[in-house]
Chains A and B, each alone.
Chain A
């Protein structure tokens, strides 16, 4: 009986997850169980989480169209300082407080392409927000993702991380 219930739940979850899976511009397969919007407020593809604790985590994905960039992601991994400086500048100019850098990472997504991630946290009034940015190449084209969420929303952050790691570049 318990097994049946567990199986049903697993089936339901996987069905739900499959239902959320998106093929983006025939380049990327992406699966995140958040509300998906196309061409909204200037973003081609954006996923919106539920509004919790006065904030709505969100993730944007852009197939950039940049194909002739020969930039080695290893370099970004080795030299993160200029990113932090840039974001510090941005935070300061917007009246936010730059809190902590998040260390850069190189990781492989589901379809084995290498992606790079880096981020930081900042304080906006009483909220601590975590911004992550991701770059990688799919079929030689640069892909950009950016997520913004409350640092305290660990569950949403996990969901984001999993979704990005399970992303697939279509061949």
Chain B
């Protein structure tokens, strides 16, 4: 199994395997006329690397990690060649290195897999093959195959299956945390390990959920007496756990902290309250608090934000509003939505409420928040997590067994608040008043919330997310012993399952899991090595930015705040270029800001395609290394290739050279630069450029402040104290360097001194980190000249390093992989026929790949024309030939996919059935995606379904017009299915954020 995993990965990273039939000295080869295995004849790489004498053979360096010659002049020597190679290279310090010659490595690995695993040739069962499997696959050697989801109906079997899967998931996750993200994306072996782990982690979590579902639906009586007893013990344990949770519950404190922080948030319109120092000190900035805080800020903002403020922002974009009605309504959307929200709420205020609101809006808002929190709590326990309904089929009527709020963990409570109240946002005020909840009690409010969520289609989603908590709560009640032993035991098994599910839900929220999911998705969608490794390297970043709980649903709930932000579309924040002093669009500008600014700068309206191109060009280089070879690409730090790529995208969208120049020079199509303010200051000192010192000093302070905050936060969340030591040392180095410069940098050094002192106070007094001591500034010595020079030279690449970087850049182009479409065509067909991907997907993917490959060929041509590539030129030409071959294959595949898509229009029902059945999959995918990706995914799916509707409708129209022959029953069937598809279309739109 584990070898098949490698095989799978080998397919993923396709190489150009040839028709090898045997192995010798680690070389895949073909047999000559006398039946001997001869690499010199059958392996195109052999002649490139071998320099052994006649009668000798070079051991395959990609397998053995070193170059060695072994004799092959006798039959015995030939038979022992593998053992001899191992012996001779055993002393070498070199390890098998994928990067030594990637092409040779993958070519060899694939052939070894075919021969040793699939039994191609006659060597599958030899000692050599056994040794090679282990030798070549250390990356996957430790991974057991995932156990299948049990078919058993027996709860105890299912439970054991569940535990096994959970243990493996935890172990995989640990391994993923230890080894991923990969620091060096060139290290394909590490990428391979990370990727295989990411697949297993995503798959493992999925299997656990399936087993838990089986346990939930299994027959109570299917449990043996012994198992029942042991599980009953667990049941009792659950009750104990509940008690422990009660004792450790800190939800109240979290809510208070979040509210306190929210109240001190600059609402910009009026001051709701102040943050008492005593409370401030008790709040530890837990990760959960951020989500609650944002929710509460959203709540207050929805009440107090000014409509005129939105207009102030909208008016800046007024002259670019197009002349179609849809342009107008789209421009005005924020105002229409926000005023409708507020006015609906106003409509619900009776005289008493209105009086209070008028007297003191702040007090009134706080009072409402408390009331709404109570209502929501009741909604969660009596509805969302209700364990038993009087009408179970529709999950309605009276809740016979509400969940025990006290038995939920603090995290679960916060999760429920953030998802539910976050979704409802400001509207919850109106809903609560609609039911007269304030005067009639919390139950009425809870019912109103439920009705509103049910009507919006959100209810099912939230219930599926939280029902297991209700079941856990029910099970703990059962432990009281009122029910029959078998039922109690089954409930206990379900408790275990529920607990496991809850555990898995928590695991899923860890940065490691999300990083793994991101990587698995990247691989599933296109599988280029560079993309996967980039995901591995950068995945933790967006994860940090997401709220820990229910970010997607929460975001939907923040619509009022979003409306405000949308209103700011025309205001593009700016930054000043450290190099040129030019004012440019901030890297943090939103897409709308970016396009609005582009229109402003070009003094014309962009077509939708051009607006998309601006964003696409802006994204080029994201997460890649920039020109300096050290920092991430960004403004003023793009490689030539990245700039060319941006240019090409803009040219294709119809921008002329002058416009492209404007877009580039104003930072509109740029990312945030990775160069730190410190690096820039060093460069400014080196260039004797004092013009931007003041800006950079401010930025340095802000950057360092953020670093300190982040390090302290990380440490509080269980991070390593070494990061704090390292940060202190780095800051001290900065301080010493800047102090030694004197003059303009005196203030910068004293600001760093202040920051270090603040950090030291927190770390020593609050965090009490062992071994950490405050810096004694009186005893600090200025830095030596050597250190200073080294730093300066490191930050400014010389012409020599530029050349090296140029080569690196070229290497990246060379290595840049293509996509999942590099799979064997048969594999793609099989996946498409199994419904894992659609032919429509493939068609789209091919089109995109073809463009990409054409771009790569173009880049290689440019590189060959303009660069001093030396020996790399040969490889580039070879790569170009490969790309051209791949291009031809992909064009064929696109044509084929296009034909199949057309054919499917006649097999409409089959395709449609597949779309309908994939809802759960979509839901799962959306849950794990970042909001941006979810939106992209939604658009893609919606367009597919829309396409089906269009085609189906076309067929129906033709059938009705008599152009094609269809029976009345088929016509009726088609009409029904079209209705289903329309529902599906709505569902996709509702599912997405």
Contacts and interface: CB of A to CB of B under 8 A. Distances in A.
Contact of B343 (A60, A92, A97, A127): A60
Given A51-B351, A56-B349, A129-B344, A42 B306 contact: yes
A72 B323 contact: yes
Interface stretch (A11-19, A61-69, A162-170): A61-69
B452 interface: yes
A93 to B, nearest CB: 7
Contacts of B430: 124
Contacts of B349: 51, 56
A1 interface: no
Contact of B455 (A60, A86, A97): A97
Interface stretch (B314-322, B653-661, B903-911): B314-322
Contact of B434 (A48, A78, A125): A125
B358 A37 contact: yes
Given A41-B361, A44-B307, A131-B340, A71 B328 contact: yes
Contacts of B315: 64-69
B339 interface: yes
Contacts of A65: 308, 311-312, 315
A55 B347 contact: yes
Interface string B318-352: 11010111101110010111111111111111110
B323 A127 contact: no
Contact of A41 (B303, B325, B434, B451): B303
B559 A129 contact: no
A124 B348 CA distance: 11
A68 B358 contact: no
A69 B351 CA distance: 39
Given A44-B308, A66-B314, A66-B315, A51 B350 contact: yes
Interface in A37-93: 37, 40-44, 46, 48, 51, 54-58, 60, 62, 64-72, 75-76, 78-83, 86-87, 90, 92-93
A55 B348 CA distance: 5
A51 to B, nearest CB: 5
Contact of A133 (B311, B336, B435): B336
A94 interface: yes
B666 interface: no
B883 to A, nearest CB: 44
A81 B328 CA distance: 12
A146 B339 contact: yes
A83 B329 contact: yes
Contacts of B338: 42
B809 interface: no
B462 interface: no
Contact of B325 (A43, A83, A95): A83
Contacts of B351: 51
Contacts of A94: 341, 344, 427, 452, 456
A56 B456 contact: no
Contact of A82 (B269, B326, B348): B326
A58 B340 contact: no
A146 B336 CA distance: 8
Contacts of B990: 92
A54 B329 contact: no
Nearest to B302: A42
A148 B318 CA distance: 26
A36 interface: no
B416 interface: no
A124 B343 CA distance: 13
A51 B306 CA distance: 24
Best-buried of A54, A64, A131, A133 by chain B (most CB within 10 Å): A64
A30 interface: no
B342 A42 contact: yes
Contacts of B451: 95, 125
B197 interface: no
A62 B427 contact: no
Nearest to A83: B329
Contact of A146 (B323, B340, B453): B340
Contacts of B873: none
A148 B336 contact: no
A76 B455 CA distance: 30
A66 B313 CA distance: 10
A56 B348 contact: yes
Contact of B328 (A76, A92, A149): A76
Contacts of A62: 307-308, 311, 335, 339
Contacts of B9: none
A56 B346 contact: yes
B354 interface: yes
Interface string A106-148: 0000000000000000001101010101000000001010111
B346 A48 contact: yes
B141 to A, nearest CB: 51
Given A56-B348, A97-B455, A148-B347, A90 B336 contact: yes
From B318, B337, B348, B452, residue with most partner A Cβ within 10 Å: B318
Contacts of B511: none
A125 B449 CA distance: 10
A69 B337 contact: no
Given A41-B304, A82-B329, A57 B347 contact: yes
B328 to A, nearest CB: 5
Contacts of B345: 41
Given A76-B325, A148-B344, A148-B347, A42 B312 contact: no
A95 B455 contact: yes
A36 to B, nearest CB: 12
A42 B269 contact: yes
A76 B336 CA distance: 15
The winner among B307, B354, B358, B452 for most chain A CB atoms within 10 A is B307
Contacts of A129: 344, 347
B797 interface: no
B637 interface: no
B340 A56 contact: no
Contact of B453 (A37, A44, A51, A95): A95
Nearest to A126: B434
Contacts of B348: 54-56
Contact of A54 (B319, B436, B454): B436
B718 to A, nearest CB: 38
B448 interface: yes
Nearest to A49: B347
Contacts of A48: 346, 354
A14 to B, nearest CB: 28
Given A41-B303, A66-B318, A146 B343 contact: yes
Most chain A beta carbons < 10 A, residue from B312, B314, B341, B455: B455
Given A60-B339, A148-B344, A71 B321 contact: yes
B346 A58 contact: yes
Contact of A86 (B333, B341, B354, B436): B333
Contacts of A37: 358
B305 interface: yes
A109 B343 CA distance: 24
Interface of B: 269, 303-308, 311-312, 314-315, 318-319, 321, 323-326, 328-330, 333, 335-351, 354, 357-358, 361, 427, 430-431, 434-436, 448, 451-458, 556, 559, 990
Given A65-B311, A95-B453, 19 more contacts: A41-B361, A42-B342, A44-B307, A48-B346, A58-B347, A62-B307, A68-B318, A75-B323, A80-B325, A82-B326, A86-B333, A92-B457, A94-B341, A94-B456, A95-B456, A97-B455, A124-B434, A131-B340, A133-B336
Q: Which 5 A-B pairs have the closest CB atoms?
A: A95-B456, A79-B325, A95-B452, A82-B326, A95-B455
15 contacts: A37-B358, A41-B346, A41-B361, A44-B306, A51-B349, A56-B347, A64-B311, A79-B326, A82-B326, A86-B336, A87-B336, A93-B456, A95-B453, A127-B434, A148-B343
